[in-house]
C-alpha cells in the first residue's frame, strides 16, 4: 500500500464551493482500480489550506491507472481550477519499525 499526500491551497473565498465540488468528485477517485480510501482535512490555522490523502494498492494504480484515465480528466475539470498554486503530489510507503 502507498499513501498519496497532497497539500492543497484553495483560492480565497472558494472554500465552500471547493468542498462541495470535492464531495461530488470523490465518487470518481473511489471507483478506480487499486483505490483503498481517501480523506480531506481542512487546516485550522490557514484558510483555504487542505491536506488530501489517498491510499492506493500500488504506486502505478495512481500514476498510471488513475492519472492516465478518462476519469482523471473529469477529476481535473471539476477540481483543478480551485488551486493556487497548483499542488505537488508526493507518495509515501510505510517504514517497518520492528
pLDDT of residue 74: 98
Write down the pTM of the prediction. 0.94
2-93: CATH topology: Alpha-Beta Plaits (3.30.70)
Q: Do 40 and 20 contact (CB within 8 A), yes or no?
A: no
The tens digit of pLDDT for each residue in 64-77 reads 999 999 999 999 99
The tens digit of pLDDT for each residue in 35-47 reads 999 999 999 999 9
Q: What value does the mean pLDDT take over residues 51-79?
A: 98
Cell numbers at 74, concatenated: 473529469
pLDDT of residue 70: 97
**SS3 assignment, position 15:** helix
* Confidence band, pLDDT 50/70/90 cuts, at residue 98: confident
Amino acid at each position: 500500500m502507498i499513501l498519496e499526500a497532497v497539500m492543497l491551497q484553495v483560492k480565497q473565498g472558494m472554500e465552500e464551493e471547493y468542498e462541495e465540488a470535492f464531495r461530488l468528485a470523490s465518487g470518481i477517485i473511489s471507483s478506480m482500480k487499486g483505490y483503498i480510501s481517501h480523506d480531506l482535512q481542512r487546516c485550522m490555522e490557514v484558510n483555504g489550506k487542505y491536506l488530501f490523502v489517498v491510499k492506493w494498492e500500488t504506486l502505478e494504480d495512481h500514476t498510471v491507472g488513475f492519472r492516465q484515465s478518462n476519469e482523471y480528466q473529469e477529476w481535473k475539470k471539476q477540481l483543478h481550477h480551485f488551486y493556487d498554486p497548483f499542488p505537488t503530489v508526493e507518495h509515501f510507503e510505510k517504514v517497518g519499525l520492528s
